[in-house]
């Protein structure tokens, strides 16, 4: 289920040269799981823009987005007080109902944001949470301290070695992470596939995909799994490791 609603911008500011944080005030009743997303209507553009929810409470939600095209460029120019038309509560999100006491969260680039609310939920249940945040360079790193303030054990990796561990998220997992019994991941597909191949534990992976409607009607984001065809926007974006076909 999803809901169309109007939200008011209360904050919109840059975190890095290309990544922005937007806080919206409005009805969050339909957001029930970490990893769900919203679909934003941008005036003058035909398709809505899907953005993962980084965090939410009873009255507000936080979006973190990267400026990569016309839609997100317009979003970065919006100011507090403006209103946005959203389809909210989309996607299945991550499930925390798994037998895990020490989960590992792995995020790459703009795949980092949906892991923040997930970390809060897991920590609230008394679980030990390790987090690996992967970026290309130090200039792209964001939310490292925010995860630490929650109480997570945080490892940052950059491809060029300018911050944290030099290499990819799989490098950090091999060199710095220990005793995790389950994993959650969100990021670009090459990262997810490398993680799938490198980690023996079960887990959940959130996929990024181009979407038309965002709620399962157009079938434009369908993919094949071991259990048949699934729509990333509605049956995903989170799939379990066991059902994925590369």
Between 232 and 152, the higher pLDDT residue: 152
pLDDT at 155: 97
Q: Is the pLDDT of residue 41 over 70?
A: yes
- Bridge partners, 107 (sequence order): 133, 186
Lowest mean pLDDT among 68-72, 174-178, 196-200, 207-211: 207-211
pLDDT at 92: 95
Nearest to 30 by CA among 9, 5, 8: 5
* C-alpha separations of 155 from 28, 36, 56, 80, 170 in Å: 31, 24, 24, 33, 11
pLDDT at 105: 98
Environment class of residue 125 by beta-carbon count within 10 Å: exposed (0-12), middle (13-18) or buried (19+)?
A: exposed
Nearest to 2 by CA among 93, 118, 133, 135: 93
Q: Is the pLDDT of residue 220 over 90?
A: no
| DSSP secondary structure string for all residues of the chain | --EEEEEEEEEEEESSSSEEEEEEES--TT--STT-EEEEE-TT-SS-EEEEEEEE-SSEEEEEEE--SHHHHHHHT--TT-EEEEEEEES------SS-SSEEEEEEGGGSTHHHHHHHHHHHTT---EEEEEESSGGG--SHHHHHHHT-EEEEEETTSSSSEES-HHHHHHHH--S--EEEEES-HHHHHHHHHH--S-EEEEPP---SSSSSSS-TTEEEETTEEEETTTT-SEEEGGGB--
Q: What's the pTM? A: 0.95
* Mean pLDDT for the stretch of residues 29-33: 95
The pairing of strands 37-41 and 49-56 is antiparallel
- Residues 146-173 have pLDDT tens digits of 999 999 999 999 999 999 999 999 999 9
Q: Treating both helix axes as pointing N-terminal to C-terminal, what angle do 189-198 and 169-176 enclose, rounded to 10 degrees?
A: 30
Residues 223/229, Cβ–Cβ less than 8 Å: yes
**Maximum C-alpha span of the chain:** 50
């Amino acid at each position: 289920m999803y809901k169309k609603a109007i939200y008011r911008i209360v904050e919109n500011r840059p975190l890095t040269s290309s990544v922005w944080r937007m806080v919206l005030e409005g009805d969050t009743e339909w957001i029930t799981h970490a990893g769900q997303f919203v679909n934003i209507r941008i005036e003058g553009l035909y398709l809505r823009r899907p953005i993962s929810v980084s965090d939410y409470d009873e009255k507000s939600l936080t979006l973190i987005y990267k400026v990569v095209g016309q839609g997100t460029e317009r979003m970065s120019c919006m100011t507090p007080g403006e209103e946005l038309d959203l389809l909210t509560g989309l996607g299945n999100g991550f499930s925390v109902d798994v037998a895990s006491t020490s989960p590992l969260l792995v995020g790459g680039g703009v795949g980092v944001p949906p892991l923040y609310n997930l970390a809060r939920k897991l920590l609230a249940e008394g679980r030990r949470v390790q987090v690996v945040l992967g970026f290309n360079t130090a200039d792209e790193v964001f939310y490292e301290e925010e995860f630490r303030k929650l109480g997570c054990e945080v490892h940052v990796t950059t491809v060029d070695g300018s911050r944290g561990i030099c290499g990819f998220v799989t490098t950090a997992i091999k060199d710095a992470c220990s005793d995790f019994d389950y994993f959650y991941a969100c990021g670009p597909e090459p990262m997810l596939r490398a993680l799938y191949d490198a980690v023996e534990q079960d887990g959940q992976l959130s996929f990024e995909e181009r979407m038309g409607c965002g709620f399962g009607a157009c079938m434009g984001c369908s993919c094949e799994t071991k259990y048949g065809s699934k729509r990333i926007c509605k049956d995903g974006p989170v799939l379990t490791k066991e059902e994925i076909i590369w």
